[in-house]
């Protein structure tokens, strides 16, 4: 098991947040917890476990971890461009602070299935969730291996949708965040934005993509598995433990 301090989540929460990566059945969870509590004094600790590792899931539950979501890892191979016509819309990479601010205005409000937002432990979940996503999108804007894109309405110049992804090398990309302005949900912009992004990835030589989706996010799962033909590569149980008020 590897224990990492999540810098963005810790900064947003104002207290240490830890991620437990790749816990194994043979790990001494009690000893590991004693060590990371003494070192970090965390407020929130998260662990993502393969759904097949039932005994390990039960051991984490016995240690006080609680289920927060099921997450699916989906994969997709890009073979040819999607047929799209921009029409009244314009797709572009976000390269200015002014454009980024319009994207951030969307991410503060659009997400409804964030595990912080649904977690009853948070008393100000909406505010914290918005700040958390804002921080992750700003990171994508600043990192050289990540990209932020937006879809604009040509006539008004209004930003309607956004997507981020990370280049992993060897023709592969990891899809990160995507959202539609709350006023335009249900208008068909999510698939249109995806098609534009995938075409851009193809132009950059990307042919393999991976994403992670909460199993409670039915709309995105239906879009990506039915319309886009993603396949399930792995399912995870996500558990968390909280410390103090």
**Contact call for residues 59 and 47 (beta carbons, < 8 A):** no
In contact, 74 and 224? CB cutoff 8 Å:
yes
- Domain containing residue 105: CATH number: 3.40.630.30
User: Rounded to the nearest 5 degrees, what angle is found at the Cα of 20, between the Cα atoms of 14 and 26?
Assistant: 155
Percent of the chain topping pLDDT 90: 83
Check whether residue 209 and residue 136 sit in a common domain: yes
**170-187: b or e for each residue (b if 16 or more CB lie within 10 Å)?**
eeebebbbbbbbeebeee
* Residues 118 and 152 grouped into a single domain: yes
Shared domain for 200 and 88, answered yes or no, is: yes
Instruction: Render pLDDT for 80-98 as a digit per residue (tens, 0 to 9).
Output: 999 887 689 999 999 999 9
The residue range of the domain holding 66 is 2-72+238-242
Look at the chain and report how many structural domains it folds into.
2
Q: What is the pLDDT of residues 106-137, one digit of tens each?
A: 999 998 889 999 999 998 999 999 999 999 99
What is this structure's pTM?
0.93
């Amino acid at each position: 098991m590897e224990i990492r301090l999540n810098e963005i989540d810790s900064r947003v929460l104002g207290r240490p947040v830890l991620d437990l990566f790749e816990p194994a059945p043979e790990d001494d969870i009690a000893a590991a917890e004693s060590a990371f509590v003494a070192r970090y004094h965390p407020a929130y600790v998260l662990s993502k476990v393969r759904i097949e590792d039932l005994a390990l899931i039960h051991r984490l539950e016995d240690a006080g971890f609680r289920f927060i979501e099921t997450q699916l890892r989906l994969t997709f191979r890009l073979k040819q461009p999607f047929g799209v016509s921009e029409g009244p819309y314009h797709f572009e990479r976000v390269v200015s602070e002014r454009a980024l601010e319009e994207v951030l205005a969307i991410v503060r409000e659009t997400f409804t299935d964030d595990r912080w937002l649904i977690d009853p432990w948070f008393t100000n979940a909406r505010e914290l969730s918005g700040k958390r996503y804002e921080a992750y999108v700003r990171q994508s804007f600043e990192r050289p291996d990540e990209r932020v894109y937006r879809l604009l309405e040509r006539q008004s110049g209004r930003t309607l949708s956004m997507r981020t992804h990370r280049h992993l090398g060897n023709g592969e990309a990891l899809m990160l965040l995507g959202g539609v302005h709350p006023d335009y949900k249900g208008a068909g912009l999510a698939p249109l934005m995806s098609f534009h992004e995938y075409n851009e990835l193809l132009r950059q030589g990307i042919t393999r993509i991976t994403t992670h989706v909460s199993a409670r996010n039915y709309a995105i799962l239906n879009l990506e598995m039915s319309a886009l033909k993603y396949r399930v590569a792995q399912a995870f149980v996500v558990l968390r433990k909280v410390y103090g008020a």
